Amino acid sequence: MKIFNKRTCKVCDAICCRYITIPLKTPEIIEDFENIKWYISHENTEVNIEEDGAWYIKLKTPCEHLSKNNLCSIYKNRPEICKEHTTKSCEKYNEENFILTFKSVEEVNKYIETILKKGRHQTI
């Protein structure tokens, strides 16, 4: 039986090929949260704030080049961003470094309430 190295894609269901993330403008005023609420009202979406304060939307949808065996069907010609993504920092072998995740309008409303109570907008 072949023993794989500790960090290998061969024992993974290709987690990183099943979503995309897009940077968002950090909400600065309450009205900015209306778009956030709209985004996460759609299925398979969430909005995350990373440790450095950057906001991202995550769209959970598999890449059309992902084969049934969880391998990339265009491996040699895959996009640069895919080539740069390695097991050194990938989501299978590393904790996701989000300080907050929004999956529902209720969670956004709760966040807004919290920042209003603090009298300023900041990540919590």
Q: Does 63 bind ligand SF4 (CB under 6 A)?
A: yes
**Binds ligand SF4 (CB under 6 A): choice among 50, 56, 65, 121:** 65
Binding marks (x or -) toward ligand SF4, 3..32, rule CB under 6 A? ------x--x-xxxx---------------
**Binds ligand SF4 (CB under 6 A): choice among 24, 87, 98, 112:** 87
Q: Give, in degrees to the nearest 5, the angle at Cα 33 between 30 and 38.
A: 150
Task: Name which of 68, 73, 56 is nearest 19 in CA terms.
Answer: 56
Interface size with ligand SF4, residues (CB under 6 A): 19
Residue 77's alpha-carbon distances to 8, 74, 80, in angstroms, are 20, 5, 9
Q: DSSP H helical segments within 17-79, as ranges?
A: 33-40
Joined tokens for residue 26: 């950090």
Q: Which CB sits closer to ligand SF4, 72 or 112?
A: 72
Residue at 10: amino acid letter: K
- The strand pair at 55-59 and 45-50 is best described as antiparallel
**Binds ligand SF4 (CB under 6 A): choice among 19, 35, 37, 92:** 92
What residue ranges bind ligand SF4 (CB under 6 A)?
Answer: 9, 12, 14-17, 63, 65-66, 72, 74, 78-79, 82, 85, 87, 90-92
